[in-house]
Chains A and B, each alone.
Chain A
């Protein structure tokens, strides 16, 4: 068929469709079965604490986005990420990072719940920094990739946080090249990144401690993560991260139960909220995830929201 014949054929046929069929959406009759859905009403129906955020350069703008989505409280931390590989990770740097969080807490005390970070390679300084940050009103700990959470260097920190009834909140990851499968892939992640298996080991060693596995939607294999963490009741997860695949929340509820899941965004606000709204969770389950579960854990250390 040459181009002219093709065009002529398709044009006529298309015309035939127009003449003989109703075009989708052109019917004046209301679509059968369709209900009106007020998404903003649904968004605002739930109280929300975001269990995984970081202070942005423009805090006012960050809070304005949170306001749109009915996020009243945000837990913020500022770990030393050292993405460049050249950044100092020593005690001075750690303090400086924590001071950014403290400043945000000071500016907006009703909105931000501050978590401190540490580098467990520095034992003495880490204990001192915990004391300083707790005295200044911080409510928990966020670790990064300096040391795996199951490393003995973490034991005194986990014990101290447990005494304070605070979460051991860890940056975590799990994808090709990491965790229990397909180790031949090198994806350039820091070798001391905490994997699901690492947190399980720590959680079994310290069953009285409370662990928080970060961002199951942060690009990791969330099915793998949920299945691996299933048997440890003292590990919580947050839903943060830029991935908003349809089944994440329902899968997490199925494997972890409705009480071990925190709403988190990791600063991905719209789809952070959207993925929970779109899940098949009940209203009561959504309220637990958006607010109650995290608030109940904060309450143990006296840092809950009234």
Chain B
């Protein structure tokens, strides 16, 4: 019944708008007379001024967005070695975009205003100018060449994993709808694994090959801990559908693909504790907690539980549509000092000890 009523109300609203449009249409009087539907000088004038107004609107929304939302982008708080390179390139690209956007939108809308039609005026017959066209072919070529070259160098740096640096090897294992990590242990070599070896009864949930000597000292955890400053190489697997391991603060992302192993290497540069203490993060967290406090008041008023206070943590979050709970597939990443990391890893169970006999 409510459904029917809602649909009725909805239909009424639509009809109301329709009728309002109709009334407007009818008040135009004899507007449906001859040649009234072609723009005349008056229309050209008003629409020309509106074009100018729209230019102002575009600038205003740009300025508003930068002032109001400008602190949202992840540009000031990268936590990996390649992060600042990415951010620099990003800012460079944004500057280029900003300049081109400001100029071209001005030309477009200003011309639309300036050259609005008038009876008796004749447009300039101007069909071609090779020199001009060469200019706006060559300028983008130069700008793009610069961006491409910078981009390619950055990309190669990021993607090139230097095995000599002895990166810490960790497997990141994705499934609907959670993450698991597997450390390679003392030998820093992951044991072989395949989903066909999964044995739930024995608690071998990742399908690690129990007979592989490299697997014995592997460590399976539900959190990633990383020692600060040490390169890490994350090898990714998925057991069911595509997932994407997105670690925004490390400027890192790679899909997890069933049937193959993908990888992404980076070096964390800021411990979780240090990140929490950066001025940007203190501001951001304070802001978020204020929003949460306001929300909590509403919830309490409704008799529901208040929200927990937020404390910053690095996360790996799923960024490839993977099903119902895609929106809540996350795992904490904790970056800490070497000592803290050593103490933590010592407490974890080795794979061979974790199996049910």
Question: Is chain B a partner of chain A in the same complex?
Answer: no
Residues of A within 8 A of B (CB): none
